[in-house]
């Protein structure tokens, strides 16, 4: 059975077109007509506003949503807070999670993402085992909880199962980190082999960082990924670079390149503190760089060289990471606005550039290359924005409206694989669900 929708305005390719009719069948676009002529027997369902392809959140730690609003206080007395003091509070939440509470928190967080226009999430998942480090009866119980949470929230997921073996270079896991470790990369790979994907679930891989995965273990993770998404935290902190240089005599990017971990399906998350040689290696391998500006500024990480990476051949994607904010429109514009602050110049990225990063480039980095465009054969994902809100009214209804004016609250409805969600009507309900889930883990 097919259903047709009349899109008042729609981003088709690089242009916003008026009165576009799309026909959806079996979760895909089977027809996209640039202009509605009024012909045909069936009257299409009208979606008023500006419709975009589905947006991809390429870097998520779902349980970090419980930290929002709780990490800005006492630990920063005298302005001394840092990424490392924030991490201690994050570890405290990780220590308390069970498969049941993780499912509840992740489902509520993914529902918040859906309401913001996100149709697929890359979950960078390293919370694998019981608090004492022993495996659950189902060794992938926590991963299965995340997959179920995404399914029940109504979005796709790339479960980026993360290898995490050390508390730092040459250091054994400590405290809650024992929940993260499989002991070595071979045992990690054996566990991941038991995970199965489906049409809405991709099983990918991740190297937590060069701090957390020893150099000699990285090739095993890269081999396990072979053609699937491979993500890695890269040079998020200056301290990471210093530690890698002291231990290995090279930068984290150079270490990954030497271990065979860079390639077209690699996403370097953050990529904040890079040398010129790092830029050349990442661009030359056609890797992607996943920027998470709202988290990077919240943690004081710095402003990464997004434009320079793109100029060297790397491809930009976006994520919300710690969920200090879940708003893909803010992530898009922050790439440009942060670079303006860093360079004192404007015009590094066009609205279309940033929409490409947030849509088809992001989905491809998660293993969904058939998503992120309003085109025949693509997955039927749509994000429809209100053009009459106080933020969007009078802004021209073009790509710039989406990137430089809209916020998550302007999303009226979201379609995922042909299923239409009236998200504007569910925000109050999602808020209550988040409140209950967070109270359960704090």
Residue 248 annotated among the catalytic residues of the structure: no
Question: Which residues pair with residue 413 across a beta bridge?
Answer: 384
197 token code pair: 């994907």
**Nearest CA among 412, 440, 415 for reference residue 426:** 412
55 token code pair: 């947006």
How far apart (Å, rounded) are the C-alpha atoms in residues 111 and 27? 20
Catalytic residue among 270, 348, 360, 363: 270
320 token code pair: 């919300």
The Cα-based distances of 411 to 47, 77, 101, 272, 320 in angstroms read 12, 37, 28, 30, 17
Catalytic residue among 321, 386, 410, 417: 321
How far apart (Å, rounded) are the C-alpha atoms in residues 188 and 161? 9
The Cα-based distances of 129 to 132, 181, 184, 272 in angstroms read 8, 8, 14, 30
- Phi then psi dihedrals of residue 323, to 5 deg: 65, 30
Angle formed at CA 201 by CA 419 and CA 384, multiple of 5 degrees:
30
**Nearest CA among 157, 284, 261 for reference residue 209:** 261
Q: What is the DSSP string of 382-395?
A: EEEE-SSSTTTTTS
What's the gap between Cα 132 and its chain centre?
Answer: 29
Dmax of the chain from CA atoms? 71
Kind plus residue range of the DSSP H or E element containing 311: helix 306-311
How far apart (Å, rounded) are the C-alpha atoms in residues 350 and 366? 23
Residue 321 annotated among the catalytic residues of the structure: yes
63 token code pair: 């349980």
Catalytic positions, please? Answer: 270, 321
């Amino acid at each position: 059975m097919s259903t047709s929708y009349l899109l008042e305005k729609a981003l088709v390719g690089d242009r916003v077109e008026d009165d576009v009719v799309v026909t959806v069948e079996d979760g895909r676009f089977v027809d996209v007509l640039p202009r509605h002529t009024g012909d045909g027997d069936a009257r299409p369902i009208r979606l008023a506003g500006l419709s975009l392809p589905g947006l991809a959140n390429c870097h998520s730690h779902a349980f970090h949503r419980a930290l929002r609003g709780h990490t800005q206080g006492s630990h920063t007395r005298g302005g001394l807070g840092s990424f490392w003091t924030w991490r201690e509070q994050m570890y405290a939440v990780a220590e308390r999670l069970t498969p049941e509470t993780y499912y509840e928190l992740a489902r509520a967080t993914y529902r918040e993402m859906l309401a913001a226009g996100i149709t697929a999430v890359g979950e960078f998942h390293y919370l694998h085992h019981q608090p004492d480090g022993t495996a659950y009866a189902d060794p992938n119980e926590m991963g299965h909880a995340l997959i179920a949470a995404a399914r029940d929230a109504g979005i796709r997921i790339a479960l980026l199962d993360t290898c995490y073996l050390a508390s730092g270079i040459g250091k054994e896991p400590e405290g809650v980190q024992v929940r993260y470790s499989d002991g070595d990369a071979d045992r990690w790979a054996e566990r991941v082999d038991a995970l199965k994907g489906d049409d809405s679930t991709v099983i990918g891989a991740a190297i937590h960082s060069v701090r957390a995965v020893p150099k000699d273990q990285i090739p095993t993770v890269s081999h396990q990924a072979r053609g699937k998404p491979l993500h890695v935290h890269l040079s998020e902190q200056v301290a990471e670079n210093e530690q890698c240089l002291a231990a290995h005599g090279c930068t984290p990017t150079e270490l990954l390149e030497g271990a065979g971990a860079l390639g077209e399906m690699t996403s370097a998350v953050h990529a904040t503190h890079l040398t010129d040689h790092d830029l050349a290696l990442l661009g030359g391998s056609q890797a992607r760089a996943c920027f998470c500006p709202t988290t990077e500024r919240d943690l004081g990480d710095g402003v990464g060289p997004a434009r320079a990476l793109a100029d060297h051949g790397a491809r930009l994607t976006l994520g919300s990471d710690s969920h200090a904010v879940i708003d893909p429109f803010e992530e898009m514009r922050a790439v440009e606005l942060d670079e303006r602050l860093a360079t004192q110049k404007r015009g590094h990225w066009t609205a279309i550039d940033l929409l490409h990063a947030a849509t088809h480039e992001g989905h491809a980095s998660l293993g969904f290359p058939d998503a992120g465009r309003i085109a025949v054969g693509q997955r039927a994902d749509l994000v429809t924005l209100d053009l009459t809100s106080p933020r969007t009214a009078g802004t021209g209804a073009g790509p710039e409206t989406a990137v430089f004016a809209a916020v998550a609250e302007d999303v009226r409805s979201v379609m995922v694989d042909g299923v239409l969600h009236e998200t504007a009507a569910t925000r109050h309900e999602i808020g209550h669900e988040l409140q209950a889930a967070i109270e359960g883990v704090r």
